[in-house]
A = this chain, B = another copy of it.
Amino acid sequence: MTITTSPAPIRNGIDTAQVYGTLDVLKAQPEAARFEFRVRNSWIDGTHSRSTIHGFWGAGAEDASRTEPFVVDASEPPVLFGHNEAPNPAEYLLHALAGCLTLTIVNVAAARKVELYEVSATLTGVLDARGATGIDPAYRNGFERIDVSFSIRGDASPEKLAEVVERAKARSVVYDMVANGVPVAVTTDVR
């Protein structure tokens, strides 16, 4: 007799059993839902700085899963007074938005039993530098708008795939922050 076991509930690389277990924990222990993420940044020279990203608080404990910190630089191209040491901060904001929408699409699809074959996106942000340079206050400093163009393939109907994207927009952490803004408090220790 052959016993056929169900495949492990991994879909799109997401462990759906872990996802449902986590949701149960968050419902039973709301204090586990608090997350605090941290970045430490140090200026190097000119437009060039470096962030170190390591620990965070989440699920009721200080995370210990990262044995080494992530190190990520930012700078500017020559036309914006840097030397192309790294992507610029506005490009990192687009990267943050892309990464968050994409992983939220993948999580939503996994929960809805949709297998994805491809998720790719092009993001563009347009700004008028008369804002940030202070030349003309009629222009804002940041992007006037951001356009995100997704290309998605999966084993569901076009309607269902489009629904997955809409749901991901409604649940994405970074989409919420970029689209709606976040209160930012800056304090300075001057020595």
CA distance A169 to B184 in the complex (A): 10
Q: Is the CB of A40 within 8 A of B99?
A: no
Q: How far is the CB of A154 from chain B (nearest CB, A)?
A: 8
Contacts of A126 in B (CB 8 A): 34-36
Q: Is the CB of A135 within 8 A of B27?
A: yes
Q: Give the most central of A107, A134, A141: most B CB within 10 Å.
A: A141
Q: Is the CB of A125 within 8 A of B37?
A: yes
Q: How far is the CB of A162 from chain B (nearest CB, A)?
A: 6
8 Å CB contact of A189 from B141, B150, B178, B181: B150
CB-CB under 8 A for A169 and B142, given A45-B13, A103-B47: no
Q: Is the CB of A148 within 8 A of B93?
A: no
Contacts of A70 in B (CB 8 A): 86-87, 91
Q: Give the most central of A58, A82, A177: most B CB within 10 Å.
A: A177
CB-CB under 8 A for A26 and B130, given A87-B72, A106-B43, A158-B190: yes
Q: How far is the CB of A17 from chain B (nearest CB, A)?
A: 11
Contacts of A4 in B (CB 8 A): none
Q: Is the CB of A42 within 8 A of B125?
A: no
Contacts of A120 in B (CB 8 A): 40-43
Contacts of A133 in B (CB 8 A): 22-23, 26, 33, 171
Q: Closest 8 CB pairs between A and B?
A: A13-B46, A74-B99, A181-B181, A89-B100, A41-B98, A142-B177, A43-B119, A92-B96
